[in-house]
Structure 1
Amino acid sequence: MSVPEYVITMEETLDFAGQAYAGKPQLPLALRLIQNTGVRKRHIVQPIEQTLHHPGFEERNRIYEFESKKRCPEVIERALANADVPAHDIGVIIYVSCTGFMMPSLTAWLINNMGFRSNTRQIPIAQLGCAAGGAAINRAHDFCTAYPESNALIVSCELCSLCYQPDDDGVGSLLSDGLFGDAVAAAVVRGSGGTGMVLERNASHLIPNTEDWISYAVRATGFHFQLDRRVPGTMEPLAPVLRQLAADHGWDIGNLDFYIIHAGGPRILDDLSKFLHVDCDVFRHSWATLTEYGNIASAVVLDALRRLFEEDTAMPGATGVIAGFGPGITAEMAVGSWIVDAPRNMDRMQRGTSAPRLGRDLTQSTRRRVAWTA
């Protein structure tokens, strides 16, 4: 994982908001909501003065393309090195981003410039927002299950600050201005070998008739983020879905060893803790990401997983869940167990059991791993 060099603190965010929206009746409520996020600081791809100036959609998107090509390769190289997988052994690149647009996708540029094979599959995911990190893990799982000798690369590039709209002054827009941060993350899902989470089952769920609760309005000035006030309450209907996913696997969702959850905001984590009947501390990795970087969209689950690796407390056989939430309202979920340095021949012998891995080597397949990068 990597974050840009420019930093904005909570105090600076409140000050800028107070100046930019002085006299707006919704400002006091927005400031209270921003304070309650617990986000101490965020990293942004440009100095704050440039971020607050809107140069037009064309220029914003040019900056997105330039910065993504500048920042992704180093993060990808670290992910490949951590996973001990060379670029030419990657079978698919899954690129997730909802903060800029390129066609062809950045995947084509990566293949041409980073030593990937010309027959590497490309899966760009642009419209799942914050849920895309979980979706990328699940699609990598599916790919490696279909092609057991293959490896998958996940790349998340979220430059949320490039979506700032100075004329949007609704409470949801003001809250998002104080919540979202920029980050780039990458992970390798290996067909065999390594240490990490064995991805054993994945699932998706859409809450019916909620597609306008989190959305973009695409206008001449670019992407205008729209957030419905009902979004924080979505953990109540989603908690039973997570519970059922674990139950289908023979597990109790309230009795797992680790939880990698999208940190959309404090209400999301607090409510999920309540509805799953687990202590809020089990989401400590997600809380840490939220506090230090803000909501970094699809990169949250990858950073929370990085923190689990660095904590180095997961024991072989430990059970866990990954869940990302985003527009739709969509949940992308996976359950699996922890494995440490299993020999490759053991992996091959066990491929008859469906168990992928996710971690510093996040793998999957019928035994697969995902390798993260810091």
Structure 2
Amino acid sequence: MSKVHIVHVEKELPKCCRHTNEILPFVELWLADQDKRFKRKVIKIFEGAGVDKRYSIMDAEEVFTATSFEEKNNIYAREVKKLGTSVLHKALENSNWKPHSLDYIITVSCTGIMIPSLDAYIIENLSLRQDIVRLPVTEMGCAAGVSALIYASNFLKSNPNKRVAIIAVESPSATFQLNDFSMANMVSAAIFGDGAACVLLSSESEAKGPVIIAEEMYHFNNATHLMGFDLTNTGLKMILDPSVPQVISDNFPDIVHPFLKKNGISIKDVDHLIFHPGGKKIVETVERLFGSLGKNIDDTREVLKEYGNMSSVTVLYVLERFLNRRIPVGSYGLVLSFGPGFSAQRVLLKWEGDNN
């Protein structure tokens, strides 16, 4: 069985950027006809979300303009093609990989609808091989970045001397519902941002980077109602149950400890926590759980602060921070995300030998 290395992670951000205090006037105008107490509550949600700024494929004026699902989805399709192509191009350039050296391409996105899927356009734009294997990952939300790592790992373990590119591109701003005044829409508007990431992986013997030791998914029972989208005439309407942090907390021991035990280690052996920042409450919940075990998720909190929650992309921004550090040989890292299903995805990394 081949070793699987994470060789490189690249980030790409859309052109529009606003700090949270710059967005608040748009929120106040949007809520002008709502009850004053409700408006104050929503403003406090934005102010307390732990997000200082976010990027978007549209400027704020366009996000807060009433348009059809078709119009927003057309913007999504146009912009994710650009971001996906650009982030893969940068990743290849910075890793000295040729486009035709890729054997497998995985694209990840759930915030719009495109057929053909994003991978087809990237193959065209960068002249990738005609026999490249394609896998579009959709409808898995925030968990999909780690899901893609799992799919890539399984492909590479069985196929020596191969290369995989994962391209995740999300635009939650394209799903914003102007006439939805539910708390789920308020919370998602306060925490989400747009972005793209690319991960390059290899099963070549000379590849460098942390090794994927193990990967596993965990599916919660009776939990399909907790998170996702409803497809409505106005677009993708957020489903976000307020019980999610408590559900994570209740299941946390079963998610983490048996997975590590199968691989001959415990949480005390894990030096680096690479956790998806779903939102402030989820971050605080997991921070408390890991904190009681003597660990921290400072990088997760920082990524949420700088970019917001970019759905599947966000955990890859956390991963990028670790790949840009000199990590001691023998160190373990645990990649963890949660998403619709409801599910948890886990990947165990190890920094080995001269592969930093």
Q: 1:20 to 1:283 in 2, by over 3 A?
A: same
Secondary structure in 2 matching 1:260: strand
Q: 1:340 to 1:107 in 2, by over 3 A?
A: farther
CA–CA separation in structure 2 for the residues paired with 1:104 and 1:152:
20
Give the corresponding residue for 2:282.
Answer: 268
Q: Deviations over 1:27-72 (max 9, x none)?
A: 3333323322210011111111111113211111111111112222
Select 2:81's aligned residue among 69, 91, 101.
69
Give the corresponding residue for 1:257.
Answer: 271
Deviation at 1:307, TM superposition (A): 1.3
Asked if 1:244 is matched to 2:258, the reply is yes
Give the corresponding residue for 1:10.
Answer: 20
Aligned pairs (5 A) from 1:325-340? 325-339=338-352
Give the corresponding residue for 2:212.
Answer: 199
Secondary structure in 1 matching 2:351: strand
CA–CA separation in structure 2 for the residues paired with 1:16 and 1:234:
33
CA–CA separation in structure 2 for the residues paired with 1:267 and 1:340:
38
* More off after superposition, 221-230 vs 20-29: 20-29
Q: Assess if the C-alpha contact under 8 Å between 1:6 and 1:45 holds in 2.
A: yes
Asked if 1:232 is matched to 2:242, the reply is no
Select 1:220's aligned residue among 233, 246, 260.
233
Total equivalences in the alignment:
341
Aligned pairs (5 A) from 1:341-352? 341-342=354-355
Deviation at 1:159, TM superposition (A): 1.0
Gaps of 5+ in 1: 343-358, 360-374
Give the corresponding residue for 2:8.
Answer: none
Q: Assess if the C-alpha contact under 8 Å between 1:194 and 1:341 holds in 2.
A: no
Deviation at 1:179, TM superposition (A): 0.7
Select 2:177's aligned residue among 140, 161, 165.
165
- Letter of the structure 1 residue corresponding to residue 179 of structure 2: D
CA–CA separation in structure 2 for the residues paired with 1:164 and 1:279:
38
Deviation at 1:90, TM superposition (A): 1.4
Q: What TM-score do the two structures reach when normalised by structure 1?
A: 0.87
Give the corresponding residue for 1:182.
Answer: 194
Q: Assess if the C-alpha contact under 8 Å between 1:90 and 1:120 holds in 2.
A: yes
CA–CA separation in structure 1 for the residues paired with 2:183 and 2:307:
21
CA–CA separation in structure 2 for the residues paired with 1:318 and 1:129:
29
Asked if 1:208 is matched to 2:221, the reply is yes
Secondary structure in 1 matching 2:12: coil
Secondary structure in 1 matching 2:210: strand
Secondary structure in 1 matching 2:197: strand
- Letter of the structure 2 residue corresponding to residue 302 of structure 1: L
Give the corresponding residue for 2:4.
Answer: none
Q: Assess if the C-alpha contact under 8 Å between 2:26 and 2:60 holds in 1.
A: no
CA–CA separation in structure 2 for the residues paired with 1:14 and 1:339:
47
Asked if 1:322 is matched to 2:332, the reply is no
- Letter of the structure 2 residue corresponding to residue 48 of structure 1: A
Q: What TM-score do the two structures reach when normalised by structure 2?
A: 0.91
Deviation at 1:96, TM superposition (A): 0.5
Q: Assess if the C-alpha contact under 8 Å between 1:194 and 1:340 holds in 2.
A: no
CA–CA separation in structure 2 for the residues paired with 1:153 and 1:237:
35
CA–CA separation in structure 1 for the residues paired with 2:94 and 2:352:
16
CA–CA separation in structure 2 for the residues paired with 1:164 and 1:40:
19
Q: 1:212 to 1:189 in 2, by over 3 A?
A: same
Secondary structure in 2 matching 1:339: coil
Select 1:301's aligned residue among 315, 318, 332.
315
Aligned pairs (5 A) from 1:103-114? 103-114=115-126
Q: 1:179 to 1:197 in 2, by over 3 A?
A: same
CA–CA separation in structure 1 for the residues paired with 2:247 and 2:43:
23
Gaps of 5+ in 2: 1-10
Q: Assess if the C-alpha contact under 8 Å between 2:103 and 2:164 holds in 1.
A: yes
CA–CA separation in structure 1 for the residues paired with 2:287 and 2:187:
22
Select 2:305's aligned residue among 269, 291, 299.
291
Identity %: 28
- Letter of the structure 2 residue corresponding to residue 337 of structure 1: K
CA–CA separation in structure 2 for the residues paired with 1:187 and 1:128:
18
CA–CA separation in structure 2 for the residues paired with 1:42 and 1:238:
31
Q: Assess if the C-alpha contact under 8 Å between 1:160 and 1:296 holds in 2.
A: yes
Q: Assess if the C-alpha contact under 8 Å between 1:273 and 1:279 holds in 2.
A: no
Give the corresponding residue for 1:42.
Answer: 54
Give the corresponding residue for 2:92.
Answer: 80
Deviation at 1:78, TM superposition (A): 1.8
Q: 1:143 to 1:237 in 2, by over 3 A?
A: farther
Deviation at 1:340, TM superposition (A): 5.8
| RMSD after superposition | 1.7
- Letter of the structure 1 residue corresponding to residue 258 of structure 2: Q
Q: Assess if the C-alpha contact under 8 Å between 2:13 and 2:83 holds in 1.
A: no
Q: 1:340 to 1:16 in 2, by over 3 A?
A: farther
Deviation at 1:341, TM superposition (A): 4.4
Deviation at 1:236, TM superposition (A): 1.2
CA–CA separation in structure 1 for the residues paired with 2:268 and 2:38:
38
CA–CA separation in structure 2 for the residues paired with 1:328 and 1:95:
19
CA–CA separation in structure 1 for the residues paired with 2:352 and 2:89:
23
Deviation at 1:80, TM superposition (A): 1.8
* More off after superposition, 216-225 vs 85-94: 85-94
Secondary structure in 2 matching 1:307: helix
